[in-house]
Structure 1
Amino acid sequence: MPIGSNAADNTWSKHTRRGEWMIWGGWFALAVVFVLSWQVMNERTIWAFVEDAPRQGADLLSRSWPPRWDYLGNLWQPLWDTLNMATLGTLLGTAMAVPLAFMAARNTSPSLLFLRPVALFIIVASRSINSLIWALLLVAIIGPGILAGIIAIALRSIGFVGKLLYESIEEIDETQVEAVRATGAGQLQLIDYAIVPQVLPAFVGMTIFRWDINIRESTILGLVGASGIGLQLQGSLNTLAWSQVSVIFAVILLTVIVAEWVSSKVRRAII
């Protein structure tokens, strides 16, 4: 009898009756959530502002044009700080993520009952908090500046790199591990000769990808006092210098495009 057939009339159907009811129940629940969410949004939205948004947007664009290109000279040092923040934060986060990933992977964890849950908790906690929130906390703790931005980027990167890396470790070919173990190799030698060569290309790719993401996130950390080009953006916004804001947006866009191009080229060359 085909899978999903009805035993009573012996006719084939795509889903069992219970499966069909579950699908329809899921769609009904989704519709209810959508209606409730729309009601909440409608109650808390001032539609007069929404109707006036096109006129306000056009007015803002008119103030932003033409861009004040002579302001570019004030952006090179903040842009350099932003790139340093992203790069150093990525390196620091990756350095902390590697041992956590090996502790979190089932096939390499020294302790499945204690160390693995601790490592998984740190990875999940890192991924659960946005880098902007980390920066807010760190600016309050250690004061404003590039150091707070670097640590914020690092703490956010731990979860990203750690999760992808430990999943890659768990998916390695175990036959290569057994072959190296058969030579009498110890645990560290197994990691060095059997595991690292298998995950190294993916590890380099995910690290570069994270660096690309961190450059985008670093551009806004200055809004909360973590230095970089975001600090210049905050200052221009506070003084309503829209012609400067348009220049900063152009620099950020160009930086992200170049970083994306570099990231794509390097990952393609390695992977």
Structure 2
Amino acid sequence: MTEATEHLAGNRIWTFRTPRARLALWAGWLGLVALFVFCWQVMTRGTIWAFVWDAPTQARDIFGRMFPPALAYVPELMVPLWDTLNMATLGTMLGVAMAVPVAFLAARNTSPAPRLLRPVAMFVVVASRSINALIWALLLVAILGPGLLAGIIAIALRSIGFIGKLLYEAIEETDARQVEAVTATGASRAQVVGYAIVPQVLPTFWGITVFRWDINIRESAILGLVGAGGLGLKLQASLNTLAWPQVTMILIVILGTVVVSEGISAKVRRALI
């Protein structure tokens, strides 16, 4: 922002912006409004507005059918719930096993070949973060067939980017003085990493792992929609048969699981960090 002066009857009058700045500001707002209108037209080009106006009525009808929840359906959800937890846990463990070496290769201060290996590691991180777990599951179900294995691998592939990015940033932010002190003792490169870098990033590593496990529980709950097993498979079956009370019960179980996992991960992170 700039201040402009105008001369009027020999007096200097201060204005907040120059006329040119005000014109540019109004042109910017006009361009933003025009862009919004254009995007709105593109997004609503195929919209059937009769369905939109009828949406509140349909929503009331569906929510009316969803209550009361089917409490008798809870015993059938215990095995899928266990599968969902196993999918998230095993997927997180596999993702961590693959993400740790990627993170050390991506960090500038630990990569053995920054010009060669670091771009490859960064590509792995970006590729993993760019593809949603649901899309990974779709691809893996087509390759491996339906089941928990596809879900576990999908969770792992999605976790590599998240864990790898946060971990390599933590590695790059380590205190260089500790590295120099260990190096001065004549330690090898592996010893420098083990005694100067790993102890500094270990609390962050555990915090990232627990946080990702919490996220993976939420993602595992819906991977069954594409055939990866767990609660999502039951949800898909209930939706296909229009068993709305069962849908409500499944959503309640998913919500309860997420709340409990959030509490556990928060306590573990506070204890570790």
Q: TM-score, normalised by structure 1?
A: 0.91
Q: Deviations over 1:136-169 (max 9, x none)?
A: 0000000000000000000000000000111111
The residue that corresponds to 2:160 in the other structure is: 158
**Kindly tell me: are residues 12 and 210 of structure 1, through their superposed partners in 2, closer, same or farther at Cα, counting changes over 3 Å?**
farther
SS of equivalent residue, structure 1 residue 43: coil
1:177-192 matched pairs, under 5 angstroms? 177-192=179-194
AA at the equivalent of 1:237: L
State the match for 1:168 in structure 2. Answer: 170
Q: Residue 134 of structure 2 corresponds to which residue in structure 1?
A: 132
* 2:203 is equivalent to residue 210 of structure 1: no
Change (3 A) 1:114 1:69: same
Q: Which amino acid aligns with 1:219?
A: A
Deviation at 1:41, TM superposition (A): 2.2
Q: Larger Cα Rg: Structure 1 or Structure 2?
A: 2
Q: In structure 2, what is the Cα distance between the partners aligned to 1:20 and 1:153?
A: 51
Number of residues paired by the alignment?
A: 268
2:58 and 2:129 map into 1 onto residues whose CA distance is 36
The Cα shift of 1:36 comes to: 1.3
Q: CA deviation at 1:172?
A: 1.0
- 1:53 is aligned to 55
Question: Which residue identity does 1:84 align to in structure 2?
Answer: N
Once the two structures are overlaid, the 10-residue window that deviates more, 171-180 or 32-41, is: 32-41
Cα separation, partners in 2 of 1:30 and 1:190, compared to 1, 3 Å: farther
Q: What amino acid sits opposite 2:236 in the alignment?
A: Q
Residue 109 (1) aligns with residue 111 (2) = yes
Does the 8 A contact of 1:4 with 1:12 survive in 2? no
Q: 1:16 to 1:53 in 2, by over 3 A?
A: same
Letter in 2 for 1:82: T
Q: Select the residue among 73, 76, 81 that pairs with 2:75.
A: 73
Residue in structure 2 matching 1:227, options 226, 229, 239: 229
Give the whole-Å Cα distance in 2 for the aligned partners of 1:18 and 1:175.
52
Deviations 1:16-35 (A, max 9, x none): 99998887776555433322
From the superposition, tell whether residues 183 and 236 of structure 1 become closer, same or farther in structure 2 (CA, over 3 Å). Answer: same
In structure 2, stretches of 5+ residues that fail to align are 8-12
Bigger shift: 56-65 or 216-225?
Answer: 56-65
Please give the alpha-carbon distance, in whole angstroms, between the structure 2 residues aligned to 1:136 and 1:39: 31
**Matched residues in 1 for 2:198 and 2:94: separation?**
19
Matched residue, 2:10: none
SS of aligned partner of 2:187: coil
Q: Which moved more, 1:234-243 or 1:20-29?
A: 20-29
Q: Partners in 1 of 2:225 and 2:123 — Cα distance?
A: 29
1:262 maps onto 2:264 in alignment: yes
- Aligned to 2:201, what secondary structure does the other structure show? helix
The one-letter code of the counterpart of 1:227 is G
- Distance verdict in 2 for CA 1:20–1:172, change over 3 Å: farther
Q: Distance in 1 between matches of 2:184 and 2:15?
A: 52
Cα distance change, pair 103–46 in 1 and its aligned pair in 2 (3 A): same
The separation in 2 between residues aligned to 1:20 and 1:91, in whole angstroms, is 56
What is the root-mean-square deviation of aligned Cα atoms in Å? 2.5
The one-letter code matched in structure 2 to 1:257 is: V
Identity %: 66
Structure 1 residue 134: Cα displacement: 0.1
Deviations 1:143-199 (A, max 9, x none): 000000000000000000000111111111101100110111111111111101111
**Residues 267, 21 of structure 1: alpha-carbon distance in 2 compared, 3 angstrom cutoff:** farther
Compared CA separation, residues 204 and 243, structure 1 to 2 (3 A): same
Q: State how far apart, in whole Å, the 1-side matches of 2:106 and 2:19 are.
A: 41
- Alpha-carbon deviations, 1:44-65, whole Å to 9, x = none? 2211111111111111111111
SS state at 2:109 partner: coil
TM-score w.r.t. the length of structure 2 is 0.91
Q: Residue type of the partner of 2:128?
A: S
